[in-house]
Amino acid sequence: MALGTYNPITMVETPAAPSRGVSNFRRAAPWLVGIVAASLLGVWLWKTPPGLLGKADAIAYAVCHRIDSHSLHINGEALPLCARCTGTYLGAVLGLGVMAVLKRTRMGRLPPVGVLAALVAFIVIMGVDGLNSYATLFPGVPHLYEPQNWLRLVTGMFEGIALIGLIYPIFNQTLWKRWEDRPALRNFRELGLVAVVAVAVIGLVLTGNPWVVYPLAVLSVGGVMLMLTLLDTIILLIVIRRENRVESWRGAFLPLFTGATVALLQIAVIDAARYAIFQSWGGLVFPQ
């Protein structure tokens, strides 16, 4: 590694310029990531079910059990994600959308204690409902109440809001060089705004209108890519020690694109492994 030069008059050390090899690699990195992403996407598109909903099913297949009885249906067909996961990833998209409208694009502090406690409570409530639902899969196992898909949707929606409310500030802290030391969700009024939008979307999903539900189903699958991309970008930047380097959205493109490529790789690997075991793109089946 080249050392910087020290100026005894100004008492400032000038960092050494990166070596030619490092500079060449940095220039080539976008092309390398692009080639890998294009190749991976091409293979994934070729091997997965045809059509937009087929590709949505393939993304959902990597993160969701897709049990038929736990899923919402339109015209007899299950949505790509189960009811709970549909809510979770829609909640994440909606939460991020509201924070973007509120112009919280670089705010990296976690919410205040009260709001943080509410977000944790959303996750705990989803966990209780999930465990109760899981118990019903096995005959003879006691459970607190009879699960309902609308309740899975609701608890999943608020869990998704909680997850994005916790992950998004960490993402901003990791990505931006000059992130703002202010919370992305500042108070209960802003959390209430997210909740109102969530309740409205829950109502739209429960109408069962295909013209409304299908776009929301696709949007929920987009939420899978959103969450994986944010998490993979955070991990990638920490692993390669490139945290807090980005100053503009143009500079953020490569880290985010690389994170999305890693997310697609994860989905492809899980898809391949699950399909090799079950030989089907359908949901898991439990004996009754």
> What average pLDDT does the segment 264-281 reach?
93
* Residue 202 backbone class (left: φ over 0; alpha: ψ -120 to 50; beta: rest): alpha
With respect to residue 65, please indicate whether it lies within any of the assigned structural domains: yes
Residue 44 pLDDT grade (very low, low, confident, very high; cuts 50, 70, 90): confident
With respect to residue 46, please indicate whether it lies within any of the assigned structural domains: no
With respect to residue 209, please indicate whether it lies within any of the assigned structural domains: yes
Q: pTM of the predicted model, to two decimals?
A: 0.87
With respect to residue 144, please indicate whether it lies within any of the assigned structural domains: yes
CA 279 to chain centre: 27
With respect to residue 156, please indicate whether it lies within any of the assigned structural domains: yes
pLDDT at 23: 57
pLDDT digit string, tens, across residues 84-143: 999 999 999 999 999 999 998 899 999 999 999 999 999 999 999 999 998 888 888 888
What average pLDDT does the chain have? 89
pLDDT at 28: 65
Tally of domains in the chain:
1
* Owning domain of residue 80: 51-278
pLDDT at 30: 73
